[in-house]
Amino acid sequence: MTLAEQYRRVLFGWDRAEEAVYPDPARGDIAVSAKVGDILAALVLIHQPDLIVEVGSLKGYSATRMATAMQPDSSIICLEIDARSASATRDALTPLVGQRATVIEADACTALSGIELTGRTFVFLDGAKREYPDYLDAVADRLAIGDVLVADDALAPVRGTYDDEPGGHDAARAGMYQYARRIVADARYHSTLTTSGFGLLISRRIA
């Protein structure tokens, strides 16, 4: 299958009926939207990483979208702090990519720095927003030139969205803004913002 065919399959061939098995963000859940899923899949297709690392997988929706787009010999590692969510992610990924998926039930604040970032790497951050600066600390120096780091919720949106996180909305927004300021000011990275969903901040290591 050519890259163009893969791109078409993933961007336009995703069976929308499958969306029904996942929680719909519009119904109050916190998975990325289908559109953001499209963008993540497209980024994976374009970047062709050897390794995808996701922080915060919930029930595996975004992980599934990225795994669908990865190359046959690539692998995905998800860090998820909640046991039931980690198990649900495993159940979602295993039929798709089998042993190429590893779901680790762990706090990414401590576990992320222990993940070996080998080969071309794609990191997707979607854990607790107040912790984004910690996630950045764990990977920014270790990514190689060309690697990609994507953070969801860059627009740190409406009040109420993160009330269930410790520290609530204010702590979430502060973490997100600190992350954004740091990565945008980091000359080693080129960053761009897409406004789909709650905003994806896409950064590529260039130096």
**Residues of the shown chain interacting with ligand SAM in the complex, contacts defined by CB under 6 A:** 30-32, 55-58, 61-62, 79-82, 85, 107-109, 126-128, 131
Q: To the nearest whole angstrom, how small is the minimum distance from the Cβ of residue 48 to ligand SAM? A: 21
Q: 67 is written with which tokens?
A: 């795994």
Q: To the nearest whole angstrom, how small is the minimum distance from the Cβ of residue 69 to ligand SAM? A: 15
Q: 164 is written with which tokens?
A: 């269930």
Comparing CB distances to ligand SAM, the nearer of 33 and 190 is 33
> Nearest residue by C-beta to ligand SAM?
56
Comparing CB distances to ligand SAM, the nearer of 128 and 149 is 128
Comparing CB distances to ligand SAM, the nearer of 109 and 155 is 109
Q: Positive or negative CA dihedral for 167, 168, 174, 179? A: positive
Comparing CB distances to ligand SAM, the nearer of 115 and 183 is 115
**What DSSP assignment string belongs to 81-99?**
SSHHHHHHHHHHHHHHHGG
Q: To the nearest whole angstrom, how small is the minimum distance from the Cβ of residue 128 to ligand SAM? A: 4
> Which are the contacts of 29, defined by CB distance < 8 A and separation ≥ 6?
23
Q: To the nearest whole angstrom, how small is the minimum distance from the Cβ of residue 116 to ligand SAM? A: 18
In 3D, which of 126, 130, 125 has the Cα closest to residue 169?
Answer: 130
User: Distance between alpha carbon 11 and the CA centroid of its chain, in Å?
Assistant: 17
